[in-house]
């Protein structure tokens, strides 16, 4: 299932950005996130700060998020916000919704603090550098 989901997301990103999916490699960290209203214990837990994935993770060229819970039903807050000059663009997570974007400075973003409930998502990232590629996770 994980490999199939990764492949489908990879193909859609490649199609959207006009590149070959064979030139994209899964990269780390690919991770499951569970965000709730508990206080951050480390700076890595402070997800609400604006950031650029390429600067934060280094190997990311394309970032995707697969949402596993619903905004306003399973949690409050926790929307994904692209911080564009002049007007932000906000994505409301919905179970099964996938959002993806290039990971560079053109996509400064953050996640709103979760006020109640739990927000679940999987981040699946890709690189165009085969040296930073990893295999699919083995369960």
Q: Which residues are catalytic?
A: 119
Euclidean distance between CA atoms 23 and 43, whole angstroms: 33
Is the preceding peptide bond at 29 cis, omega within 30 degrees of 0? yes
Cα 38 from chain centroid? 21
Euclidean distance between CA atoms 49 and 65, whole angstroms: 17
């Amino acid at each position: 299932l994980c490999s199939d989901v990764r492949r489908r997301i990879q193909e859609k990103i490649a199609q959207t950005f006009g590149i070959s999916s064979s030139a994209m490699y899964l990269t780390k960290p690919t991770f499951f996130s569970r965000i709730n209203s508990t206080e951050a214990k480390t700076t890595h837990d402070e997800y609400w700060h604006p950031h650029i994935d390429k600067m934060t993770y280094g190997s990311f060229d394309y970032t995707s998020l697969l949402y596993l819970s619903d905004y306003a039903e399973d949690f409050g807050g926790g929307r994904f916000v692209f911080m564009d000059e002049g007007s932000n663009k906000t994505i409301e997570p919905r179970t099964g919704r996938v959002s993806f974007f290039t990971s560079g400075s053109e996509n400064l973003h953050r996640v709103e603090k979760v006020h109640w409930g739990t927000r679940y998502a999987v981040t699946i990232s890709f690189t165009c550098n085969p040296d930073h590629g990893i295999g699919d996770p083995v369960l």
